[in-house]
Structure 1
Amino acid sequence: MKLINESAWQYLSVKLPMLGAFFMLILIPLLQWLVDYKLIPDQYYAVVTGLVIPALAWLGRKIAQPNLHNVNSFVTVTAGHSNVDPGAINGKFKEAELVTKFRNAVAHYLKEEGIAIKTDGVGSDNHNLNTAIKLIKGSDVAVEFHMNAASNKAAYGIETIALPKDKKLAQDLSKVVAKAFNSKLRGDAGWIDQSQSARGKLGFISNGGLIVELGFISNDAELKTFNEKYWLAARDIADVLIRHVK
């Protein structure tokens, strides 16, 4: 048996019956006293004690909770660059191909938990930036994956570029990747404000997304760690996104 990864306390169908059970502890002695002194018929006791909790459970189920039952909610996960734009390269390794693998791994873990997703391709497909940007609209959160590169081959570390409103999420995403790769956090505890990014204004971020830089492809040691542990980092990224949307 596999339990659903969520808090049952968010549902009124759970809260109301529990509240009813609490009040029944007070109500039952009172009803019994009224019955004993013939102030109410015996059947009232049976009706009240037997129907209160089921009635509250039914009511909790019928009351709409749009924030919990948004059938159109989804998470967007995309890979940087595209099939025709390899991005940064280190030997036989191309940034676009590496982040596509990472995107697929994150998508796998999200789907395992029943999270609706949209991606900029399936398998080895990696569509262009315009396609990725179009997928952001309507999503609960949109994340794109990239890798940094530098002329200094010793440069390393993890960062997430995002708008100030997404600072905490950006830091959480960077933190789990840095832990999985035994790397360091760059910027403000892993967050880089788009306005302070060397890349300037980025379309994916301006439209509401976050860009996670999964280390430096130009650093041979960090590249090796990525190839060995990207599934672990992808699982942890998925966990952060699941907690964020739930």
Structure 2
Amino acid sequence: MGWVTEVATVEAEPQQHTVLISAGHSSTDPGAVAQGHTEAEIVTEFRDLVSQALADQGIRHLTDGPAGRNWPLGEAVELAAEADIAVEFHCDAASPRASGTWTLSHASDFPLAGRLCTVTAETLGIRNRGAAPENAGQHHRLAFVSDGGGIIHELYFLTSPVDLAAYQQHRAALAERVAGVIAEAARRA
């Protein structure tokens, strides 16, 4: 398993909930491909940045693979089902004009999902499309949500040159802010 155990000593409330962060798709499934990038490469890198930020904040957490690697969805779903908080990162794809961030989850996760959308939209300067149920739009019964009880966080539209440029410029800050939201939720009783 990918437990991250190297955590900094942080003066904060103790962690109350188990955490999993996951990168969508896998080494064998690239997901969306646009503008010379694959979704899998981007979200694996982002997961690793968030993992480091969580460790720096003293949050013990699980990942769906070691740094730079991404296990298949089935393994991520099993891990998500065991975690109190599970967030999987993705990039959306549509027309080059489509922009924004959103999440897919059960209604009970909308408060955390909404906070993830807010910090992402603010950091990247893109539209906040908000927290949505797993069957929103073209989606239907997503294993990470249905079977794992997790949140799918569509960070931005990979097909949007504006979104991609904002992500590339602000990814480190975004990872810090997303980790902060997850850390706060992990410490909340």
* Residue number in structure 1 paired with 2:136: 196
Instruction: Render the CA deviation track for 1:38-58: whole Å, top value 9, x for unaligned.
Output: xxxxxxxxxxxxxxxxxxxxx
Give the stretch that moved more between structures: 229-238 or 192-201: 192-201
Q: Distance in 2 between matches of 1:157 and 1:89?
A: 17
Quote the offset at 1:5 in angstroms. Answer: 2.7
Provide the identity percentage: 34
Q: 1:3 to 1:124 in 2, by over 3 A?
A: closer
Cα deviation code 1:40-90 (max 9, x no counterpart): xxxxxxxxxxxxxxxxxxxxxxxxxxxx686xx521000000011111111
CA distance in 2 between partners of 1:210 and 1:69 (Å): 19
Query: Which TM-score applies when normalising by structure 2?
Result: 0.89
2:98 is the counterpart of 1:155: yes
Determine if contact 1:144/1:210 at 8 Å carries over to the other structure.
Answer: yes
Task: Summarize the Cα distance change of 1:195–1:91 in structure 2 as closer, same or farther, 3 Å threshold.
Answer: closer
RMSD: 1.5
Say if 1:161 and 1:197, in contact at 8 Å, map to a contact too.
Answer: no
Q: For the residues of structure 2 that align with 1:69 and 1:124, how far apart are their CA atoms?
A: 26
Larger Rg: 1
Match of 1:222 among 163, 168, 173: 163
Contact 2:93/2:158, CA 8 A, preserved across alignment: yes
Count, aligned residues: 178
Give the equivalent residue in structure 1 for 2:58.
114
**Amino acid in structure 2 at the alignment position of 1:121:** G
In structure 2, list runs of 5 or more residues that go unmatched.
Answer: 1-8
The higher-RCO structure (CA 8 Å, 6+ apart) is 2
Deviation at 1:138, TM superposition (A): 2.8
Higher strand residue share: 2
Instruction: Give the C-alpha shift of residue 113 in structure 1.
Output: 1.8
Q: Match of 1:26?
A: none
TM-score norm. by structure 1 comes to 0.69
Check if 1:176 corresponds to 2:119.
yes
> Partners of 1:177 and 1:83 in 2: how far apart?
25
What stretches of structure 1 of length at least 5 have no aligned partner? 7-67
How far apart, in 2, do the equivalents of 1:89 and 1:231 lie?
22
Note the 1:58-69 alignment, pairs <5 A: none
The SS at the match of 1:212 is strand
Gap change, CA 1:184 and 1:117, over 3 Å in 2 = same
In 2, Cα distance between equivalents of 1:144 and 1:238: 13
Per-residue deviation, residues 125-177 of structure 1 (Å, max 9, x unmatched): 01110010111133120000000000x21000010111100111110001000
Q: Are positions 1:132 and 2:76 aligned together?
A: yes
Partner of 2:5: none
2:151 aligns with one of 210, 221, 224: 210
Change (3 A) 1:141 1:69: closer
Q: Once the 2 structures are TM-superposed, how far is the Cα of residue 3 of structure 1 from its aligned partner? A: 5.4
The CA distance in 1 between the partners of 2:131 and 2:160, in whole Å, is 21
Q: Is the 8 A contact 1:106 1:234 kept in 2?
A: yes
| Counterpart for residue 11 of structure 2 | 4
Higher helix share: 1
